[in-house]
Amino acid sequence: MSLRLPARAAVRAAPLLLVAPLVAARAQTPTAAGPVPEFARQVEVRRTAHGVPHIRAPHLKGAAYGLAWVQLEDHGAGVALGLLRARGEMGRWFGRDSMAGDFLAQRARAVAVERYAQLDQATRDVYEGFAEGVNRYVALHPQEFPAGFAPRFTGYDVATRDVNLASANQARRFLARVAPAEARAGGRNAATAANDPSEEGEPTPGVDRIEEGSNAWAFAPSRTKSGRAILVRNPHLAWTAGYYEAHVSVPAVLDFYGDFRIGGPFGVIGGFNKDLGWSTTNNAPDLDEIYALDVDPAKPDHYLLDGASLPLQRELVTVAFKNGDGVSTETREFWRTPLGPVIHRDGGKIHILRAAAEGEWRAGEQFLQMMRASSLAEWKQAMRTRARINSSFTYADRAGNILYVWNASIPSLPHPSGGDTASVPAHRTSDVWTRYVPFDSLPQLLNPPGGYVRNENDAPYHTNLHRILDRSKYPANFPEPSLRLRSQLSLALVDTKQKLSLEDAIALKHSYRMLLADRVKADLLAAVRAASPDAATAQAADVLARWDNTAGPTSRGAVLFETWWRRYTEGQNADSMFAKAWTVAEPATTPRGLKDPARAAQAFTWAVTETARRHGDAAVAWGDVHRVRMGRTDVPVGGCGGALGCFRVLNFRTDPDGKRSVIGGDGWVLAVEFGREIPRAFSVLAYGQSARPESPLYGDQAAMFARGEMKRVAFTPADVDAQTVRRYVPGAEP
């Protein structure tokens, strides 16, 4: 069946693909792997349209085994290498230049081993099944791995991926101020610093920064034509981020459809079961504090707290690394206190980082409980575990509830925050934070007036314009109000009285509108026309006047406008270049206008010449320049950066031919309507199920995504059976 929407956004059931083999033929090396493990013999994978795996198993261990297998089928050795990295053995296999992360990894694994028995049996079954799925794949595909690669992963290794430890990145700005050399070296004296990459450097010319974030909507039954709740979600990250669409079913235990980030079973940031679903959107809570303890002048490596002299805890971590045909080791020294790791010592002070969720090990258990929840009460009880330390959550369910939670394991501070560049003196334990703000005291909205909740990574207060949250009711270390153009466009799209079908919601989600143009184009045209423009500039202004203020594939004027905006704001803080800045008093209509009309007119004249030079015509269509290029796909695409006020966020790079191809932004999109018995859903994974260029699943959804279309999700057993194009037992001998 095919369903098409009017205008630019459409949803359709994709044609079935003959996806066997899913991986291009490779020379098989004989192995002694033996038969499929006994516990996995009843596991079955059914691949439906575009290779989506539906994993059926009699128990959670088998389901996780199957999930590991399909991830490796589609993404290859990176899954196993992720577990090797978690185990702290990259150096052992790949040499000294690969070992930096092994020091922190070994510490995290020690926590996983220590706490493993405290996880519930269901979570341990998932970890162990996933490890066995990876082991089975490695045994049957040795040609994809280094010679002799046979590490035999365990549940400990998979669980380690869900252990949270403090990172030197959390103290990098403080170290940059007090100890620049340490900061440049990665803060090696910090308890975790040797493992962290350096901060993002200067942008590469012609390559957009990836706007890491997400959009999420939930609509109450009062706002939908069916009288059922709707959830819409899309993250926008690099198109190498590893989102993986899958469906996992265990009778009477689990039936969940969503995204599983490549490398583990619990990297779940969105999805649904028959009763409920959720999506995450990044937030940026202040989760840690740096404290300055007094050195004990009478005892080396001691500090003073509560009137007592206490010893620092010294820890030696030894990592092995491949050295030619042999193995060498390196040992590094780390210092800790019960309050957190030491990050710097100088001036009679010992600076420690007290970070939220330091040593937290239950994230997988929490996610499994959320995936299995059948009601709002059960889902919120899982959230109260507080093992997922941040992200906003947007929720909808079959009972008709919609909910937004600004989630954070945020410290309840007994003092003003020191931010990330100052340390707070601590002489007593009471000077240090020891508990979180309770979950039920976090900013949240349940079933608000207007029938919607939404978030696009901004602060929580304007989630719904009919019930604006009062900033003054929250502690000082909560975020200040903000509402960027992307968020404002979201509100413009959903804060209406319109009743929506699932298809209507999808059409809104694919809006090409560029809100920045709505706010400044009139001022720009007035400035250009007042500057006595030459003929070419005047003609280009006429093009801009006719432009519909969208970044659609056929829009003429959008390329010129973006080129002008970059020039107008060059070397300036873009937020400072409006006539009226954003204000909390006018949250949905500011910023607006142009601060410097003369500069704007000069920039426009330059942009007319530059756009024609780059693309042959100042009035070039957006899609003639902006493309989705994956495999054999090379098609026009609509969407733009969030700074331009697009909701359909896309980031681009300039290719050698001058065209701009997508490198990030919207990629995994899901929309679900909760029925009385079963949900109805559509999805698209723009870059496809497989990262292997030789696979037929590599980029096979890219053209569909570019057209603003989505595929029908198969969820019920009958729908899955009807759409199955390949079924197999994962790990069976070829």
pLDDT score at 722: 97
Phi, psi torsion values for 554, nearest 5 degrees: -100, 5
Instruction: Report the SS3 class of residue 554.
Output: coil
E strands, 585-720, in order: 592-594, 626-630, 633-636, 650-654, 660-666, 668-674, 679-685, 711-712
pLDDT score at 184: 59
| Selection from 443, 438, 371, 374 nearest residue 403 by Cα | 443
By the 8 A CB rule, do 268 and 371 touch? Answer: yes
By the 8 A CB rule, do 48 and 114 touch? Answer: no
DSSP assignments along 188-217, one per residue: TTSSSGGGPPPPP-SPPTTBPPP--EEEEE
By the 8 A CB rule, do 364 and 265 touch? Answer: yes
Phi, psi torsion values for 628, nearest 5 degrees: -100, 120
Model pLDDT for residues 382-438, shown as the tens digit of each residue: 999 999 999 999 999 999 999 999 999 999 999 999 988 899 999 999 999 999 999
By the 8 A CB rule, do 65 and 73 touch? Answer: no
By the 8 A CB rule, do 53 and 730 touch? Answer: no
In angstroms, the CA 544 to CA 518 distance is 12
In which residue are the tokens 């790791």 written?
Answer: 341
**29: which DSSP letter?**
P
Which tokens in the block code for residue 152? 């035999």
Neighbours of 50 (CB within 10 A): 24
| Selection from 270, 271, 493 nearest residue 392 by Cα | 270
By the 8 A CB rule, do 356 and 288 touch? Answer: yes
Contacting residues for 48 by C-beta, under 8 A, at least 6 apart: 16, 54, 714, 720, 723, 724, 725
In angstroms, the CA 438 to CA 411 distance is 9
pLDDT block averages, 10 residues each, the chain of length 734: 34 35 36 82 97 98 98 96 96 95 95 98 98 97 91 97 87 87 52 37 81 96 98 95 96 97 91 98 94 97 98 96 96 95 96 95 97 98 96 98 98 94 96 97 98 98 98 96 98 98 98 98 98 97 98 98 98 97 98 98 98 98 98 96 97 97 96 96 97 96 97 97 97 80
In angstroms, the CA 472 to CA 437 distance is 15
**Dihedral-angle region of residue 88 (phi above 0 means left; psi in -120 to 50 means alpha; beta otherwise):** left
Q: What angle do CA 322, 325, 328 make, to 5 degrees?
A: 40
pLDDT score at 202: 58
In which residue are the tokens 């100890």 written?
Answer: 179
Q: Is the dihedral of CA 546, 551, 552, 553 positive or negative?
A: positive
Q: Which fold has domain 168-199+288-355?
A: Penicillin G acylase, beta-roll domain (2.30.120)
Helices of type H across 90-248: 90-94, 102-115, 121-140, 155-160, 172-178, 180-184
Which residues form the catalytic set? 214
pLDDT score at 196: 37
Which tokens in the block code for residue 692? 């292997």
pLDDT score at 183: 63
| Selection from 689, 670, 713 nearest residue 269 by Cα | 670
| Selection from 297, 310, 286 nearest residue 422 by Cα | 286
**162: which DSSP letter?**
T
Strands 402-406 and 424-425, sheet pairing: unpaired
In angstroms, the CA 111 to CA 159 distance is 10
Question: Which CATH code for domain 515-646?
Answer: 1.10.1400.10
First vs last Cα of the chain: how many Å apart? 34
Instruction: Report the SS3 class of residue 514.
Output: coil
DSSP assignments along 563-598, one per residue: HHHHHHTTTS-GGGGEEE---TTSTTT-SEEES-HH
In angstroms, the CA 356 to CA 718 distance is 45
Contacting residues for 299 by C-beta, under 8 A, at least 6 apart: 309, 311
Which tokens in the block code for residue 378? 């059960």
Neighbours of 361 (CB within 10 A): 21
H or E element, residue 518: helix 515-530
In angstroms, the CA 260 to CA 183 distance is 34
By the 8 A CB rule, do 109 and 103 touch? Answer: no
In which residue are the tokens 């300055």 written?
Answer: 292
Which tokens in the block code for residue 149? 């690669």
In angstroms, the CA 649 to CA 61 distance is 38
Which tokens in the block code for residue 326? 């042999």
DSSP assignments along 451-509, one per residue: SEEEESSS-GGGSSTTS---GGGS-TTSPPP---HHHHHHHHHHSSS--B-HHHHHHHH
Instruction: Report the SS3 class of residue 664.
Output: strand
pLDDT score at 181: 67
Tell me the residue type at 222. S
Burial of 99: CB neighbours in 10 Å, binned 0-12, 13-18, 19+ = buried
Q: Is the dihedral of CA 244, 248, 254, 256 positive or negative?
A: positive
- Domains of the chain by residue range: 168-199+288-355, 515-646
Partnered with residue 53 across adjacent β-strands are: 47
In which residue are the tokens 């919607």 written?
Answer: 452
Q: Please check if 286 is assigned to a binding site.
A: yes
Helices of type H across 285-399: 363-372, 376-383
H or E element, residue 369: helix 363-372
Partnered with residue 633 across adjacent β-strands are: 630
Which tokens in the block code for residue 242? 């590893």
Chain-centre distance for alpha carbon 282? 7
pLDDT score at 25: 32
pLDDT score at 119: 98
Which tokens in the block code for residue 423? 């340390």
- pTM to 2 decimal places: 0.93
Q: Is the dihedral of CA 435, 438, 441, 443 positive or negative?
A: positive
pLDDT score at 32: 60
Instruction: Report the SS3 class of residue 362.
Output: coil
pLDDT score at 34: 83
H or E element, residue 63: helix 60-75
pLDDT score at 268: 82
